[in-house]
Structure 1
Amino acid sequence: MKIDAFCHIMPRPYFDRFFELDAPPDVQNLRKRVSNIPALVDMNVRFRQMDEFGDYRQIINIAAPPVEFFGSPKISKELSRIGNESMAELVAAHPERFAGWTACVPMDDPDAAVEELEYAVNELGALGAQIYTHVAGHPMDEPRFDPFYAKVAELGSLLQVHPSRSSAWADYPSEQRSKYEIWWTFGWEYDLSAFMARMVFSGVLERYPDLKMLIHHGGSMVPHFSGRVGPGWDQLGARTPEDQKDDITGYPLTKRPLEYFKMMYADTAMFGAAHALRCSIDFYGVDHVLFSSDSPYDPEKGPGYIRATIKNLQEIGLSEAEQDAIFRGNVTKMLGLELKG
């Protein structure tokens, strides 16, 4: 069995409401994208694609954009509830297809996010939640988000972390927009890495060491720059002028920064880059890596990255036991999954 731990979906009720709402330009652009990927909403298309991979199941979450992109906590709460109840129905109806789902939460209202998480996990059966790397440009280590992290840790839930950036985030201060989709190719990975660093130095992982935080795209830049993250950050402060010392005064940590990064989990959504996948596994360890494809955002609009990721995991020198841990064992153990169907 293979359990794909980070897949995106737009259940029909959510999809319909998503297209009804007045939307800012970023959302309008994403509407064009998702409307051209049938497997996001059409389960017949999705299931036909999944048939290629035998005993294969997905853990699903609501596709981008974040609900906060609409700019209203009221809408965020409404969309979160529609998405969560719709995903719960899909998983209950198709246990042979879906191993579970993670909740959509309105992070522009942290109190409501805690309430929605509790409802989704305790009443609907969610495995956890998906969050993004910022909320309307605000970093995710702001103190207002602490009760949410505390609740995720208390519930023993999975916390998936997805990047979020648009062309409005320019590549250079002198420009107004990012060019050549740099905001996506490199910007999203910087977003994830910056999020991880803020979780470390603000003490979120020190305060909530039981957080099961799954970082999309192989744990992003961290494995590939572990020398900078390790020995480099062991010298924190050596590069900072005296008048900027407040910028490096974080939460009191009891371990090297590198060790907190290794507390997180990585997925395998590397889009067919076998060497990069090997690097991520070497850094995090087999026990902290979960199989994921990021389906259905490949050029085939569904099966391409699934196929490529399976091939990569089978060709990079892992033993059968290590492959089984990544494909299935780690996530079932982590979440106590009891699979049906």
Structure 2
Amino acid sequence: MRIDAFNHFFPKKYFEALQNSGLPDIGKRSTNIPAIYDLDVRRKIIDSFPDYKQILSLAAPTLEQLSKGDPDLAVEYAKIGNDGMAELCEKYPDHFAGFIAQAPLTARDAGVGETERAIKELGACGAQIYTNVNGKPVDRPEFRPFFAAMEKLDKPIWTHPARAANFPDYLDEKKSLYEIWWAFGWAYETAAMMARLVFSKIMDDHPDLKVVVHHFGSIVPTLEGRVGPGWDQLGTRTSDEDYGALLKSLKKRPLDYFKHSFYPDTATFTSEGAMKLGFGFFDFDKVIFASDCPFDPEKGTMYIRETIRILDDYGMPKADLDKVYYKNLERITGKTFVK
């Protein structure tokens, strides 16, 4: 059995709310990818792969964008999405093994109340957040109650990159061109978020926190030398902050946090090289299978098929392959997906 732990879908009522939100590009996005909202299309895709189920999560836009700064509206959208995904899992258990709650971090309680409801009452596997909150880093004090709550609940946090064209690549420009914000920006964004969790000491303060990082940790495995020997010299390039003292105060070497404290998924957009780098960098027992369906050129099938092919051809023993396909996920969520 293969449990796809990170892919995206819009339940019907949530999709209707999106269409009525007034945000640009919603229509273009959904029209081009029917599998993101059409249940029949999605179920047919799942049925085309043997021994395969999905864990559902919402796709962008973020709740912060949808709610336009209204904390109560963010909770309302989260409830619509979470209820919709729970309903799908209950109605179609042969297709959907579970769902990831969407946490409304801009709510007055940092999303704790709705996240706890979704996990305790609806049975969510964990909660999804984005790598920034309307441009704010996730390590701001106002969001810390969420991380404390997730550690107490003992459920994973799925993190998804969030960056748009309004993040310019150069100081003298007002926007990122050529979708650089997505192709390279999302990878940087993921790595930057991981660094903020480490150096803000959220990972020290909550040692049992389980954070899932999309796209096999993005650029982090490629930059092992900078994360390791490079950050072993933290502070040597900075005169206006005492980063040397911060480095000494951490409980572990920076590299050790990145290698051992995060849970990467296998969504590499069909890149065999990225898969090898990821397996070579991260703890094997923390890698979970994910495809990022349906955002591929075939509108839903390619990333699933190619990710499975790469994993099946990797040459690992079946016992290890089963860990990646579902056992690691079962361990970190505390749920049984394969009986």
2:232 maps to what in 1?
A: 234
SS in 1 for 2:227: helix
Distance 2:33 2:180 in 1: 22
Q: Of the candidates 306, 331, 334, which is equivalent to residue 333 of structure 1? A: 331
State how far apart, in whole Å, the 1-side matches of 2:248 and 2:25 are: 39
1:133 is aligned with what amino acid? T
Is 1:124 matched up with 2:154?
Answer: no
What is the aligned partner in structure 2 of residue 47 from structure 1? 43
For residue 250 of structure 2, what is the amino acid of its counterpart?
Answer: L
Contact 1:203/1:250 (<8 A) preserved = no
Distance 1:226 1:208 in 2: 24
Alpha-carbon distance in structure 2 between the residues aligned to 1:235 and 1:14:
47
Q: 1:300 aligns with which of 279, 298, 301?
A: 298
In the other structure, the counterpart of 1:312 is 310
Aligned equivalents of 1:112, 1:186: Cα separation in 2: 29
C-alpha spacing 1:248/1:182, structure 2 compared with 1 (3 Å): farther
Mark the CA change 1:300 to 1:105 in structure 2 (over 3 Å): closer, same or farther: same
CA–CA distance in structure 2, aligned partners of residues 106 and 288 of structure 1? 26
C-alpha contact (below 8 Å) 1:73/1:109 kept by paired residues: yes
* CA distances 1:250-286 after superposition (whole Å, capped 9, x unpaired): 7931110111112101000001101111110111122
In 1: Cα distance, 2:264 partner to 2:243 partner: 31
Alignment partner of 1:290: what SS?
Answer: coil
Report matched runs for 1:238-317 at 5 Å.
238-241=236-239, 243-245=240-242, 249=246, 252-261=249-258, 262-317=260-315
- 2 CA distance for matches of 1:169 and 1:251? 33
| Aligned partner of residue 237 in structure 2, secondary structure | coil
- Give yes or no for contact 1:274–1:316 (8 Å, CA) kept in 2: no
Q: Give 1:167 deviation, angstroms.
A: 0.8
CA deviation string 1:203-230 (max 9, x = no partner): 0110111111100000111111111101
Contact 1:91 1:98 in 2 (8 A): yes
Number of equivalent positions: 336
Contact 1:3 1:58 in 2 (8 A): yes
Give the direction of change, closer, same or farther, for the CA distance of 1:232–1:247 in structure 2 (3 Å limit). Answer: closer
The answer as to whether partners of 1:103 and 1:130 remain within 8 angstroms in 2 is yes
Counterpart residue number, 2:30: 34
Between the aligned partners of 2:97 and 2:248, the Cα distance in structure 1 is 37
Q: Does 1:6 align with 2:6?
A: yes
Is the 8 Å Cα contact of residues 95 and 339 (structure 1) preserved in structure 2? no
Q: Which amino acid aligns with 1:40?
A: I
Q: Distance in 1 between matches of 2:169 and 2:230?
A: 24
Query: How far apart in 1 are the matches of 2:71 and 2:257?
Result: 32
1:149 to 147, 150, 169: 147
**Residue in 1 that maps onto 2:57:** 61
Query: For residue 257 of structure 1, what is the amino acid of its counterpart?
Result: P
Once residues 330 and 340 of structure 1 are traced to their aligned partners in structure 2, the CA distance between those partners, rounded to angstroms, is 12
Q: Say which is worse superposed, 99-108 or 265-274, in terms of deviation.
A: 99-108
Query: Quick check: 1:58–1:98 contact (8 Å CA) kept in 2?
Result: yes
User: Does the CA-based 8 Å contact 1:160-1:214 persist in structure 2?
Assistant: yes
Q: Which amino acid aligns with 1:267?
A: D
User: Residues 13 and 247 of structure 1: is their aligned pair in 2 closer, same or farther, counting only changes over 3 Å?
Assistant: farther
Taking structure 2 as the reference length, the TM-score comes to: 0.95
User: 1: CA distance between counterparts of 2:338 and 2:93?
Assistant: 6
Q: Is the Cα–Cα contact under 8 Å of residues 234 and 244 in structure 2 kept in the other structure?
A: no
CA contact (8 A) 1:110 1:148 kept: no
Deviation track 1:145-183 (CA, whole Å, cap 9, x = no partner) reads 111001101111111000011111111001111111100
- CA offsets 1:68-124 (integer angstroms, 9 cap, x no match): 013122321111000001111100111111111111121112505000011001111
- Tell me how far 1:339 sits from its aligned partner: 3.2
Mapped contact 1:96–1:340 kept (Cα < 8 A): no
Distance 2:34 2:255 in 1: 41
Residues 1:230 and 1:35: Cα distance change in structure 2 (over 3 Å): same
1:131–1:250 CA distance, 2 compared to 1 (3 A) = farther
**Does the 8 A contact of 1:7 with 1:295 survive in 2?**
yes
Identity of paired residues, percent?
45
AA partner of residue 62 (structure 1): L
Alpha-carbon RMSD: 1.7
Q: Structure 2 unaligned runs (5+)?
A: none
More displaced 10-residue stretch of structure 1: 243-252 or 87-96: 243-252
TM-score normalized by structure 1?
0.95
Please list the CA deviations of residues 19-70 of structure 1 after superposition, one character each: whole Å capped at 9, or x if unmatched: 11233xxxx1244212321111111111111112111111111111111013
Q: Partner amino acid for 1:145? A: F
Alignment partners' CA distance in 1, 2:129 and 2:248: 22
